[in-house]
Structures are given as structure tokens and as C-alpha cells.
Chains A and B, each alone.
Chain A
Amino acid sequence: MRRLMLTICLLLLSAVICQAQINNDSTFVPKKRFGRAATELFIVQLLPWTFDKYVTKAEWAKLDLKSIGNNLNPKNWEWDDNSFKTNQFGHPYHGNLYYSTFRTNGYSFWQSVPAAFAGSFIWETAAETNKFAPNDFINTSLGGITLGEMTYRVSRKIVNNRARGAKRQIQEVFGLLVNPLNGVNRILNGEWGKVHGVVDTNHKLTAFLNVGSRHFNIKTYQQNLRGREEIYLRLRLLYGEKFEETSAPFDHFSAVIELGSGDSTYVNNLQVSGALHTWPMDREEENSRHLYTITMNYDFIKNNAFQYGGQSFTFKLLSNWNPDAKVRFTSEIGSGIIALGAVPDKYLFYGEGRNYDYCAGINVVAGGTMIINNWFETELNYRGSRFQTINGNPSSYILNTLSADLRGYFKKRFSLAAGIGQYTLNGFFKGFDNVAEVYPFARFSVGYKL
């Protein structure tokens, strides 16, 4: 985390320094700048490495050719022992910077994907003496792509290129905080603060901010613990039109960011699901619309009771049953693969705090919403996952997640929301007793549509 914070700070600083030297680009047509993108990719690796080598004097930053040679040999690769937060949030966030170096320099989603993989590979082989960690490579690359495209699109929606004055400056700063590379390149391109182009109306971004109270419980065979009430803040983002055909990745995505006052971490939930490709089902119906979609997903869940992180892909059938009616129903069902999941293992604790197994798996997802006259909304979501451990204790898992939310809107922007749900984790171990635990949760909040 410290490495990431430093990267952001130094990028901000360099952005300000560079501002005086920029050329104004009046065309504002996305132009591919390979040299700048590659340089930025190098810089986002160099800055944290330099800090760790010369300021914190970290052992792992003392590079030599031998360590690079060792890391290039797959026989020496080793799953690492970092904490859940470092591996499941820190690395994907850093991957988001790698991805953004190309994405914010005129390259498309697919053209920027190699940057995330390349950045991750270079870091693992040539930026630290620690052994190449496959989990870092996967989390940094896949998580980086998902977070990178989400933050890129959000940051571009935050800034209105037709806005002026202080309002515009605030937008630019927020945009930069959401995606630092985008902010830096806006400065370098001369877009920062400049009135140009047209307002981006292609994709609608709807944000719901909720503040309220929540609690998590733990139920096991031996105990039934009730967690304490805690304040939480939840930001729900809906980008684009879910029921529209598109081949452009992340033309639609949803994201949930939850912050809380729990004792584990401030960021308790960060889940992003972006559509890579959405196409209509071969079925004609007058009032309803059915589409297939393939989504790329990032999950980071860490609260007082439970933690789970993963990178996955899902194939889903989306149905909008009656889009023009007063009472509207939508549904979705699908299945997918979990490329890498971090599942809590109560029998594992070593290194920096590794208390989870790395698994691959499959899942089934289902969900439905009912919206009554735009005043009342209810949402039901289910996800069942089956994991086989790749690294950790010999084990396999079944994880069920079930949640139900009710929202009542009043005065157009304000809402009251309540939700309940539970995570159910069954772990099947060799050499240890099996584990069966339930983590119910409940939340109540006041919401505001931004």
C-alpha cells in the first residue's frame, strides 16, 4: 500500500512539474502514444522500486542479474505469503496503473491488456529479488485490467470538458484521484481545465451513495457470534446500459465500493463486473429483451467476519422482461470460471499474514430485480462457487453468497435502503476437520443519487 501511495504522490508531483511544458493538443482525438505509454509504464514501476531501495532499504529491492535469471525460470516460481489486503487489493491496484499507462494514451481496451500483463511480469521478474509469484502475476494482471478500465471510464465521466472554473478544477482533481494516469495524461495533453470537445453522453454513469449501519455475524457449530453495529458508506456505480448489445468491453459495468469502521480494513468491499461482450439471444419477443454477456469480474471482500477475493469471468443470460411497464422485472443467470480466488483457511497462517488458500473454480450466478414505478426496488442476488485449492492446505470449498436488498426512493434523489444476506462457506480438508461456517449480515442506510 505504501508503495502505491508513493507512486500516486510522485505522479501527482511530476504532473504539476510537467504542466508548464505541455503542448496544447487542440484535436483531442485519442492519439496513440506508444513512447509515452511505455515510459509511464516504466515510471510506475521505477518510482515504488526506487523508494523501497533507497528510502526503506528493502532487501527484496536489491536487484542483481542472478535474481532476474532465477525469476525467469518457472521452476523457481513460488506462491507468496503476503497478506490478503496486499495480494487482493494492493497488487490489482498497481496493475490498474500498468493498464492505464496505455489506456490513457489512446489505446483500446484490448490493446492495453498486454500492458497489465507485461507490467506485472516485469515487476515479478526484474523489480524484486523475491521469487516470481504466480498469484501476484494473475491478480495484478486480471485485477489491474478490471480496475483500470473501470477507473478510466469513471474518471472520464467525472470531468465534463465543457465545464469551467473551480468546478472544472475540482472535477479534474477527482478524476485524477480515481485514475492518476488519466489525470497525468490530461495534463500532458493539455486537456486539463481546457474547454473543448463535447459532453460525453454516450454512456450514462449513475452513482448511489449510501450511509448507514451494518453488522456481520458468525455462525459455526460451536458458536453464534453477533457482530457489533458499525457505520458504513457504500458507493454503487452503474455505467452504461446493461441491456444494450455491445462489443466494446466495459460499455456496461457495475461497481460497489464499501467503506466501514470495522477493525480489519477501511475498504470492506470492492466488486467490479464489466461486460466484455454483449449480444442478443436469437429469440424475438415483443416486450422483453434477452441478451448474452460475458463479464470480467474483480472481487475484494474483507470485513470483520469474512474475506474473499478473486478474479473471474462469467457467461450470463440477461433478461429485461417488460422494460416499458410500471412494474419491471429483470433477471440474470449464468456460470463462469474463477481464474484465481483467495478463500479463507482457518488452518493456514504464515509469512506476512497469509491466512487463505489460492483456488481455481467454477460458479453459478443468478439475480433478479423488481422495480415498481421507479419508487420501489427490490434486488435478489445469488452466487454459488466451487473451489479447488491450487496453493495452500489440500482442500476444496463451496461458497454460497445470497443477498436481498430493498430500496425505496423519495424526493427523486433520496432513498432508504435495507439489505440482508449471508456468506456460507464449507471447506473440505485433507488432514484437518472440515469447516462449515455461516456469516449473515444486515444493513440499513440512507441513500443519495449523485
Chain B
Amino acid sequence: MRQLINRYKLLQSLIIAFFACLTASTQAQDTAKVNRLPDSAYVEKFDDWFVIKPSIINTAEALVAKTGNFNIVLQPNTSEILRTYFSYQFISFYFDYLPRSAVTNHDNDEKGRTKLFTIGTNINTKHWFADLNYSHTKGYYIENTKDFRPNWREGDPYIQIPDLHVTSYDAAIGYNTNSKLSLPASVSQTERQLKSAGAFLPKAIFRYYIVDDRTPASSSNEKSKNLQALLGAGYQYTLVLKKSVYLVGQFTPAFGYIHTRVQQGQSGANRFTQKGPIYQWDGRFGFGYNGERFFAGTYINAISAKYSQGLTSAENQNVNLFFQVFVGFRIKAPKFISSTYHKFF
């Protein structure tokens, strides 16, 4: 837990330091001199090219619950996730796959088996952007097993909860206030950032997720349905070092409210609702190469949300800190896709 928090604090510090260093150069986008340049001087579009981007992500979302001195950190056993993006024009789709081999996701005995299904889409127009995501994760282990079993040693099996299901529906819609900053250049690679630019990115974030412990023959089953709505106001800056080499930093704080309905017991006899404020931040820091036909890069991404369980002293934290390594290429879009697209847009 401490390690997880330290890691995400480090990332938060890194992102803030990145923006602090860029404060001076950030001004450039707002100066009259730079604004005279057309958007095309900043962004190169790869309109009729189909983009395929496989990437490796090293973990999925952890759930942390804390009540007084009682602390539980639930982690899915997803050390390596293959996320593949298919992008064309303004839209991008992706899905996750958990590769199991001698070197990937091979510690089921220790941490249990996790099943993961994720699909999502990103839409990026000149100003508007939207993200939609659905994921279902089954099977978690308790990272801080030692707190519950003092005799536990490194290498021993963790406490596993194979029937814990987390289903999440995520949506975000936002506005890119500076058309000189290309969000696709760093997300779907359907464009390329030619000159450094930054933008203020206000967005609305919605999430509905269900945490359902379906452990058979357990008297303490709990199911919670959580609906959260937040407003975020963040900033992204892409620093182009050379024509195809860039650094990207993004940080968005977001605040809002969360409404939770809880059912406890096997028959769900004990039901109650909780509501309260929630704080979330998401950030990304990384570098990449974005050539004509080939691109690659590595990002460190984080999303962390924190809230109280209603008016109680219990708190929850959802933390998703992951490294992403990607390599992709562009191929000429098949004619039928191109012609169909141009019929509609």
C-alpha cells in the first residue's frame, strides 16, 4: 500500500515538476507571435491512414478501503495487459487481452487468477474529445495480506478473492481549448504534433461501477453500486523536441460527488445509501517517437480517486497507476473504409 501510494505521489510530483519547468514556454501559445501561425503548422493529420497500436500495460485498477486502523488493498493479478488500439480519422477503439505465458501473468498460484475484459473508444475532434470505456474484472488478491496473516512471508500465496467482480462504465467528455494542441497525436497517433503546444482541458467525468463480492457460502457478501460525476479542469502540454520526438505531460484535478448503494448479506437484506464528495486526479507523463509510418513511446499514467463512505469515517481510494509501452504503425486505409467515411463526414 505504502509502495503504491509512494509511486503515485512520485508521479504526481513528476507531473507538477514538468508543468513548473514548462511554465515559461507554455506562455508561447498565447503570444500574438505564435498565434499567427495556422493550426497546420502545429499539427499534421494522417487522415486516410489506419492506425494499429499494440501496447503493454502493467496493471489494472486497485481498490483501497480504510476504516480506522483497518486497511485493505485489493489488486487484480494483471501484471501484463495487452491493449490494442485501432484508429482512423477522429475515432479510436481498443480492447484488452491478458496474455498468459511462461513470462507473462504466470503467478496465479501466488495471487490468484484474474479475468479481465475491457473495451473502449476515444473520439477526438478539433475541439471536443470523449472517452468511453467498459471493463469487467473478476478475481482479486489482498496486497496487504501481511496485515491479516502476520506469519505471511514474501512468496507465500496472498489472500485471494476469486469471486470479486468489478464492473465499470466510464465516460468523459471535454473540450480542447487550443486547436494547436493535438490530443490524437499523443493518444491515437492519427495526427502528429509538429510544434510544442499546450491547452486547458475542462471535462466532465462520469463513472458507474459495481463492486460485487459473490464469494459462495460467505455471510459477509457486499455489493455496492457507485455513481460518480465530476468536473475536471486540467492542462496538457506536448513538448516537441524534434520533428518526431516529443514529451507529453498532462494533469487534471477533478471534483464532484459520489452516490453509493450498498447491499450487504447474501440476500442483500441490509441496504443503505451513501453520498459525499469525491476528488480524483489523472495524469500522464511520457515520451514518444511519432514518425511518418511508425511510432513508439512509453507513458506512465495514473488515475487516483479518494472519497469518504458517506458521513462515516471510512474512506475509499481507487488507484490505477500503470506504465504503457507502445509500438504502432499506419497503413493506408482500405478504399471502402475511406469512401464510406467520406460519404458521412
Task: List residues of A whose CB falls within 8 A of some B CB.
Answer: 219-221, 279, 281-283, 290, 292, 315, 317, 333-335, 362-366, 382-386, 398-400, 424, 426, 428, 433-438
Give residues 21-62 of B contacting A (CB, 8 Å). 30, 35
Would you list the 5 A-B pairs with minimal beta carbon distance, nearest first?
A384-B255, A335-B233, A400-B277, A434-B313, A433-B313
22 examples of A-B residue contacts, CB within 8 angstroms: A220-B311, A221-B312, A283-B177, A290-B177, A317-B177, A333-B231, A335-B234, A364-B232, A364-B233, A366-B231, A384-B254, A384-B277, A386-B253, A386-B255, A400-B257, A426-B276, A428-B308, A433-B313, A434-B308, A436-B311, A436-B313, A437-B311
Q: Which of A282, A364, A365 contacts B178 (CB 8 A)?
A: A282
Give residues 294-321 of B contacting A (CB, 8 Å). 306-308, 310-315
Binary interface profile of B, 277-289, with partner A (CB < 8 Å = 1, else 0)? 1110000000000
- Which of chain B's residues has its CB closest to A396's CB? B306
Counting chain B CB atoms within 10 Å of each CB, which of A292, A365, A426 scores highest?
A426
Counting chain B CB atoms within 10 Å of each CB, which of A281, A364, A365 scores highest?
A364
C-alpha gap A219/B200 in the complex (Å)? 36
Nearest CB of A to B317, in Å? 9
Nearest CB of A to B206, in Å? 15
Nearest CB of A to B205, in Å? 11
Query: Chain A contacts of B312 at CB under 8 A?
Result: 221, 434, 436
B255 touches A400 (CB 8 A): yes
C-alpha gap A362/B311 in the complex (Å)? 23
Query: Chain A contacts of B315 at CB under 8 A?
Result: 426, 428, 434
C-alpha gap A282/B36 in the complex (Å)? 10
Query: Chain A contacts of B257 at CB under 8 A?
Result: 400
Query: Chain B contacts of A426 at CB under 8 A?
Result: 276-277, 307-308, 315
- Which of chain B's residues has its CB closest to A292's CB? B200
Binary interface profile of B, 231-251, with partner A (CB < 8 Å = 1, else 0)? 111100000000000000000
A398 touches B232 (CB 8 A): no
Query: Chain B contacts of A435 at CB under 8 A?
Result: 313
- Cβ of B202 under 8 Å from chain A: yes
Nearest CB of B to A331, in Å? 10
Query: Chain A contacts of B233 at CB under 8 A?
Result: 315, 333-335, 364-366
C-alpha gap A118/B80 in the complex (Å)? 56
Query: Chain A contacts of B231 at CB under 8 A?
Result: 333, 364, 366, 382, 384
Asked, given contacts A335-B234, A426-B307, A435-B313, whether A398 binds B253 with beta carbons under 8 Å apart, the answer is no
- Cβ of B120 under 8 Å from chain A: no
A385 touches B200 (CB 8 A): no
Query: Chain B contacts of A438 at CB under 8 A?
Result: 311
Nearest CB of A to B128, in Å? 13
B311 touches A398 (CB 8 A): no
Nearest CB of B to A277, in Å? 10
A333 touches B314 (CB 8 A): no
A363 touches B255 (CB 8 A): yes
Asked, given contacts A221-B312, A364-B231, whether A398 binds B306 with beta carbons under 8 Å apart, the answer is yes
Sample of 14 further A-B pairs with CB below 8 A, known A335-B233, A398-B255: A282-B179, A292-B30, A315-B233, A334-B200, A335-B253, A384-B279, A385-B255, A386-B253, A398-B279, A426-B307, A426-B308, A428-B308, A436-B312, A437-B311
B256 touches A384 (CB 8 A): yes
Task: List residues of B whose CB falls within 8 A of some A CB.
Answer: 30, 35, 68, 177-180, 200, 202, 231-234, 253-257, 276-279, 306-308, 310-315
B254 touches A364 (CB 8 A): yes
Q: Which of B68, B256, B306 contacts A433 (CB 8 A)?
A: B68
- Which of chain A's residues has its CB closest to B256's CB? A384
Nearest CB of A to B67, in Å? 9
C-alpha gap A363/B160 in the complex (Å)? 38
Q: Which of A283, A386, A436 contacts B279 (CB 8 A)?
A: A386
C-alpha gap A281/B257 in the complex (Å)? 30
- Which of chain B's residues has its CB closest to A433's CB? B313
Nearest CB of B to A291, in Å? 11
- Which of chain B's residues has its CB closest to A365's CB? B233
Counting chain A CB atoms within 10 Å of each CB, which of B180, B257, B278, B311 scores highest?
B311
Nearest CB of A to B286, in Å? 22
Query: Chain A contacts of B180 at CB under 8 A?
Result: 282
Q: Which of B178, B234, B277 contacts A398 (CB 8 A)?
A: B277
Nearest CB of B to A93, in Å? 30
Query: Chain A contacts of B306 at CB under 8 A?
Result: 398, 428
B177 touches A281 (CB 8 A): yes
C-alpha gap A209/B274 in the complex (Å)? 38
Asked, given contacts A333-B202, A335-B234, A364-B231, whether A398 binds B278 with beta carbons under 8 Å apart, the answer is yes
C-alpha gap A290/B35 in the complex (Å)? 16
C-alpha gap A221/B275 in the complex (Å)? 12
Q: Which of A279, A386, A428 contacts B30 (CB 8 A)?
A: A279
Query: Chain B contacts of A437 at CB under 8 A?
Result: 311
Asked, given contacts A398-B255, A433-B68, A435-B313, whether A315 binds B307 with beta carbons under 8 Å apart, the answer is no
Nearest CB of A to B182, in Å? 15
C-alpha gap A398/B35 in the complex (Å)? 38
- Which of chain A's residues has its CB closest to B252's CB? A335
Query: Chain B contacts of A220 at CB under 8 A?
Result: 311
Query: Chain B contacts of A219 at CB under 8 A?
Result: 311
C-alpha gap A405/B202 in the complex (Å)? 24
Query: Chain B contacts of A385 at CB under 8 A?
Result: 255
- Which of chain B's residues has its CB closest to A219's CB? B311
Query: Chain A contacts of B35 at CB under 8 A?
Result: 282
C-alpha gap A290/B256 in the complex (Å)? 24
C-alpha gap A124/B279 in the complex (Å)? 36
Query: Chain B contacts of A428 at CB under 8 A?
Result: 306, 308, 315
C-alpha gap A283/B199 in the complex (Å)? 13
Asked, given contacts A282-B35, A292-B200, A334-B233, whether A362 binds B253 with beta carbons under 8 Å apart, the answer is yes
- Which of chain B's residues has its CB closest to A437's CB? B311
Counting chain A CB atoms within 10 Å of each CB, which of B232, B279, B307, B315 scores highest?
B279
B311 touches A221 (CB 8 A): yes
Query: Chain B contacts of A363 at CB under 8 A?
Result: 253, 255
C-alpha gap A435/B276 in the complex (Å)? 12
Query: Chain A contacts of B307 at CB under 8 A?
Result: 398, 426
Query: Chain B contacts of A333 at CB under 8 A?
Result: 202, 231, 233
- Which of chain B's residues has its CB closest to A423's CB? B277
C-alpha gap A43/B129 in the complex (Å)? 57
Query: Chain B contacts of A424 at CB under 8 A?
Result: 276-277
Counting chain A CB atoms within 10 Å of each CB, which of B35, B178, B253, B277 scores highest?
B277
Nearest CB of A to B326, in Å? 29
